[in-house]
Chain A
Amino acid sequence: MPAIDQVTDSVFRDTITRAVHDVFKTMFSLPAVLIDQPEPPAPETGDPEQRVLIDGQLVVGTVGFIGDISGLIYLYMSAGFANHLSGHLLGMSPEELDEAGDEVVNDAVGEITNMTVGTFKNQLCDQGFSCKLTIPSILRGSNFSIAPITSATRRIYRFQIAEHVLVADLLMKQGD
């Protein structure tokens, strides 16, 4: 099994890009395009959370993976995009979705995150990093950011999907 620090940034980038693309192409017939990554801000002045932010109400899905490689992936999207995706998945109109409430959207976003992280980690499994998925959880709110623990390596990728933006925030830690 290769060591985690031997896996290059480009492998992580390609792996998450393929995962997001596969999920959105298969489930929604929407292409997902990785937006050019801005230069990471200098540590002493930079604010990495700025690269995550999406305006307005946010829905964030998170699923972890545990094993030879452990980590968490957060998928950030606007509440509007979350509703749009949920309606498509469930075959529900915006009115039906409103009536059904946030729980239904949360569950759909949880499943989208589960599929995306699953596709990501399955590629890592095939490269020798055996790991298993955790159960999805959801955060909702606005103007919040998630600060990782210091031992985790953080990588942030932004994707353009139709007129919406999806942010994948990868936090990786070497397994025990």
Chain B
Amino acid sequence: MRYKILTVDDSKTVRIIVKKAFKTYDCEIIEAANGVEGLATAAKENPDVILLDVTMPVMDGVEMLTKLKSDPALKAIPVIMLTAEGGRDNVLKIAKIGVRDYIVKPFKEDLLVEKVGRIIDLKPISEGDHAKTKSIFDPATILVVEDKPAILQQIQEGIKHTPWKIAGVTATGEAIDYCSKTPPDLIVVSLSLPDDAAFTLFRLLRTNVKTKYTPIFGLVVKTDLAVQQQAQQVGFSAIVTKPIEVQDLEAKIAKAMNLDTSQRYFATADNIFIMRLPENTSPAALVEVANYLKPKTAEAVDSGIYRAVIDLHELKRFDMTIIKLLFNTMQVFRELALQYVLVGNAQIVTECKGFEDTKGWQFFDSLDDAKTHLAKGAPALASAT
């Protein structure tokens, strides 16, 4: 269920600012231009929170608030006053009628979101139903909170082939400032910061509406099991151990950000569907390929593609788990009547000859050769039993 926020203000400008402030959150903004409309809309829509101006024509905010609080059906709706009408006495008088909070204009949109976020559980829109899945080729910002420059450098170096931008800060105060200005997509915090600062920072980030749902990784020495356990208990999204294994870090980031990694393994070029295995195809990568295999193949066939290449030219490791995946791939391709060929390197071709099941496989040397062959409409070269 989407949260509803009712903004009652005679100024369309303020109502637009309110909409703008919440546009990245999964909530619905409902508008009313005066107290009469506000009461009617509150009764009809039953909003989760009301933002209420004071000075309005027809019925002002104080009268609307008084009526709202005397209506048994509406009195429980939390109200935040959002008004230029300040001054200690005024605020006290209005607060006595029963308001949850009071914001005096001018106001920062961030403050508004923060105060509303204390009343309702605001979720970024990417957490909602209408989210577009991000891929590993989309840019993202990762904030690393680490007081040791060498570690920051290792992370930067390790994932420089990705479109992810690494922002490094050395202290928790800097991290809070950074997050309030530009909330990152993921945060990595060194658990060895002095005075348990990582845990304090974690709590602060989780109470801030902007970072409430941001994945937070703890960075810790592999042997420090007690701290790892503590971090898991408080709710860190993942633990990354030092020395850092870059592939592991990258996989964890992709998983935590719920990134679509299929483009690492599947592509379409010149009306040909390509399934490729990267140089270091880890067991985790094999699982990913297996998960994407059927839907991605079906998607390609659905778009009118009927030819495919299984591209192994980058692959350096060949074993039974990979063979099993390849058989599975060929099976899926055949079920969907895809013509397919294989591309391999010298090592893979040699290793294939060493297995009974794969010794009959034939390979092209390059993707271009394979495409040319398929373009001629030649039949499949590989067979699997």
| Chain A residues packing against B (C-beta within 8 Å) | 22-23, 26-27, 86, 89-91, 104, 107-108, 110-111, 114-115, 117-119, 121-122, 124-126, 130, 132-136
Name 9 interchain pairs, CB-CB below 8 A, sorted by A. Answer: A26-B107, A86-B13, A90-B20, A91-B16, A111-B11, A114-B55, A121-B87, A135-B10, A136-B11
Contact A135-B84, Cβ < 8 Å, known A107-B12, A122-B104, A125-B89: no
CA distance A111 to B13 in the complex (A): 7
Known: A126-B88, A132-B85. 17 other contacts (CB 8 A): A22-B106, A26-B106, A27-B106, A90-B13, A107-B11, A114-B55, A118-B85, A119-B84, A119-B104, A119-B106, A122-B87, A125-B90, A126-B87, A130-B87, A130-B90, A133-B84, A135-B57
* Chain A residues with CB under 8 A of B17: 89-90
* Chain B residues with CB under 8 A of A136: 11
Interchain Cβ contacts within 8 Å, total number? 77
Min C-beta distance of B385 to chain A, whole Å: 62
CA distance A110 to B10 in the complex (A): 11
**B84 touching A89, Cβ below 8 Å:** no
Is B108 on the interface with A (CB-CB < 8 A)? yes
B92-126 residues with Cβ-Cβ distance < 8 A to A are: 104-108
Contact residues of B: prevailing secondary structure: loop
**A90 touching B16, Cβ below 8 Å:** yes
* Chain A residues with CB under 8 A of B105: 114-115, 118-119
CA distance A86 to B10 in the complex (A): 16
* Chain B residues with CB under 8 A of A110: 11, 13
Min C-beta distance of B104 to chain A, whole Å: 7
CA distance A130 to B13 in the complex (A): 27
CA distance A104 to B12 in the complex (A): 8
CA distance A164 to B14 in the complex (A): 23
Which of B17, B57, B84 has most chain A Cβ within 10 Å?
B84
B106 interface neighbour in A23, A90, A133, Cβ under 8 Å: A23
Which of A26, A118, A135 has most chain B Cβ within 10 Å?
A118
* Chain A residues with CB under 8 A of B107: 26
Min C-beta distance of A9 to chain B, whole Å: 22
Which of B89, B104, B106, B108 has most chain A Cβ within 10 Å?
B106
Give the residue name and chain of the A residue nearest to B108 (CB).
Answer: A26
Min C-beta distance of B23 to chain A, whole Å: 9
Give the residue name and chain of the A residue nearest to B53 (CB).
Answer: A114
CA distance A130 to B89 in the complex (A): 8
CA distance A118 to B87 in the complex (A): 9
Give the residue name and chain of the B residue nearest to A118 (CB).
Answer: B84
CA distance A59 to B323 in the complex (A): 75
Min C-beta distance of A112 to chain B, whole Å: 8
CA distance A23 to B55 in the complex (A): 18
* Chain B residues with CB under 8 A of A86: 13
**B55 touching A115, Cβ below 8 Å:** no
Annotate B17-55 by CB proximity to A: 1 below 8 A, 0 otherwise. Answer: 100100000000000000000000000000000000011
Give the residue name and chain of the B residue nearest to A22 (CB).
Answer: B106
Is B158 on the interface with A (CB-CB < 8 A)? no
